Amino acid sequence: MPTAEFEAETGWELKPEGACRADVCIPLPPGTAGDEVDLESLAKALGMPLVVDEARGLYCLGPRSGGRALESAVAPDLRLPGWHGDAFDLATLRGRKVLLLAWASW
Protein backbone atom coordinates (compact mmCIF):
# COMPACT_ATOMS: atom_id res chain seq x y z
CA MET A 1 0.00 0.00 0.00
CA PRO A 2 1.20 3.60 -0.42
CA THR A 3 3.55 4.64 2.36
CA ALA A 4 1.67 7.89 2.94
CA GLU A 5 -1.56 5.96 3.53
CA PHE A 6 0.13 3.59 5.98
CA GLU A 7 1.59 6.53 7.89
CA ALA A 8 -1.72 8.39 8.02
CA GLU A 9 -3.64 5.32 9.19
CA THR A 10 -1.23 4.07 11.86
CA GLY A 11 0.70 7.07 13.13
CA TRP A 12 3.99 5.35 12.27
CA GLU A 13 6.46 7.38 10.20
CA LEU A 14 8.75 5.52 7.84
CA LYS A 15 12.17 7.19 8.03
CA PRO A 16 15.66 6.07 6.89
CA GLU A 17 16.34 4.76 10.42
CA GLY A 18 13.18 2.66 10.35
CA ALA A 19 9.57 2.88 11.44
CA CYS A 20 9.24 5.54 14.13
CA ARG A 21 6.49 6.52 16.54
CA ALA A 22 6.96 8.71 19.62
CA ASP A 23 10.35 7.69 21.10
CA VAL A 24 10.53 4.35 19.33
CA CYS A 25 12.26 3.60 16.03
CA ILE A 26 12.35 0.06 14.68
CA PRO A 27 14.84 -0.79 11.92
CA LEU A 28 13.24 -2.36 8.87
CA PRO A 29 14.59 -4.98 6.49
CA PRO A 30 15.71 -3.51 3.17
CA GLY A 31 12.94 -3.24 0.60
CA THR A 32 10.16 -2.98 3.19
CA ALA A 33 9.28 0.61 2.40
CA GLY A 34 9.75 3.06 -0.44
CA ASP A 35 6.82 4.84 -2.05
CA GLU A 36 4.87 1.70 -1.21
CA VAL A 37 5.14 -0.54 1.83
CA ASP A 38 5.43 -4.31 1.85
CA LEU A 39 2.71 -4.75 4.42
CA GLU A 40 3.54 -8.32 5.42
CA SER A 41 7.18 -7.52 5.96
CA LEU A 42 6.42 -4.30 7.81
CA ALA A 43 3.77 -5.93 10.01
CA LYS A 44 6.26 -8.62 10.97
CA ALA A 45 8.99 -6.10 11.79
CA LEU A 46 6.60 -4.06 13.95
CA GLY A 47 5.09 -7.06 15.71
CA MET A 48 1.67 -6.13 14.37
CA PRO A 49 -0.51 -9.09 13.39
CA LEU A 50 -1.95 -9.04 9.90
CA VAL A 51 -5.27 -10.71 9.14
CA VAL A 52 -6.25 -11.20 5.52
CA ASP A 53 -9.75 -12.08 4.32
CA GLU A 54 -8.96 -13.14 0.76
CA ALA A 55 -12.56 -13.95 -0.12
CA ARG A 56 -13.65 -10.39 0.67
CA GLY A 57 -10.48 -8.63 -0.44
CA LEU A 58 -9.92 -7.14 3.00
CA TYR A 59 -7.01 -7.04 5.41
CA CYS A 60 -6.56 -5.65 8.88
CA LEU A 61 -3.43 -4.73 10.81
CA GLY A 62 -3.73 -5.38 14.54
CA PRO A 63 -1.96 -3.60 17.40
CA ARG A 64 1.66 -4.27 18.27
CA SER A 65 1.76 -7.44 20.31
CA GLY A 66 4.12 -9.62 22.28
CA GLY A 67 4.30 -7.36 25.33
CA ARG A 68 1.54 -5.47 27.10
CA ALA A 69 -1.52 -3.54 26.02
CA LEU A 70 0.20 -0.30 27.04
CA GLU A 71 3.73 0.27 25.75
CA SER A 72 3.92 3.62 27.50
CA ALA A 73 1.80 5.60 29.94
CA VAL A 74 1.37 8.42 27.42
CA ALA A 75 -2.33 8.35 26.57
CA PRO A 76 -2.74 7.52 22.87
CA ASP A 77 -4.76 9.73 20.56
CA LEU A 78 -8.44 8.97 20.93
CA ARG A 79 -10.97 10.32 18.48
CA LEU A 80 -14.45 8.84 18.59
CA PRO A 81 -17.89 10.17 17.69
CA GLY A 82 -20.19 11.50 20.38
CA TRP A 83 -23.60 9.89 20.62
CA HIS A 84 -25.04 12.53 18.31
CA GLY A 85 -22.38 11.69 15.71
CA ASP A 86 -20.24 14.78 16.35
CA ALA A 87 -16.46 14.26 16.41
CA PHE A 88 -14.69 14.24 19.78
CA ASP A 89 -10.95 14.36 20.48
CA LEU A 90 -9.68 13.37 23.92
CA ALA A 91 -6.82 15.85 23.49
CA THR A 92 -9.30 18.69 23.98
CA LEU A 93 -9.42 17.68 27.66
CA ARG A 94 -5.67 18.19 28.20
CA GLY A 95 -5.24 20.20 31.41
CA ARG A 96 -8.01 18.29 33.21
CA LYS A 97 -8.12 14.99 35.02
CA VAL A 98 -10.08 12.46 32.96
CA LEU A 99 -11.92 9.30 33.98
CA LEU A 100 -12.46 7.36 30.76
CA LEU A 101 -15.25 4.88 31.40
CA ALA A 102 -16.09 2.06 28.99
CA TRP A 103 -19.61 0.59 29.20
CA ALA A 104 -22.10 -1.06 26.82
CA SER A 105 -25.81 -1.52 26.24
CA TRP A 106 -25.27 -5.28 26.19
What is the CB neighbour count within 10 angstroms for residue 28? 21
Nearer to another protein, 30 or 73 (CB): 73
User: Which residues in 42-101 contact another protein (CB under 8 A)?
Assistant: 47-51, 53, 55-56, 58, 60-76, 78, 80-83, 88, 90-91, 93-101
Nearer to another protein, 31 or 83 (CB): 83
User: How far is it, in rounded angstroms, from Cα 27 to Cα 94?
Assistant: 32
User: How far is it, in rounded angstroms, from Cα 72 to Cα 64?
Assistant: 12
Amino acid, res. 58: L
Binding residues for another protein (CB under 8 A): 47-51, 53, 55-56, 58, 60-76, 78, 80-83, 88, 90-91, 93-106
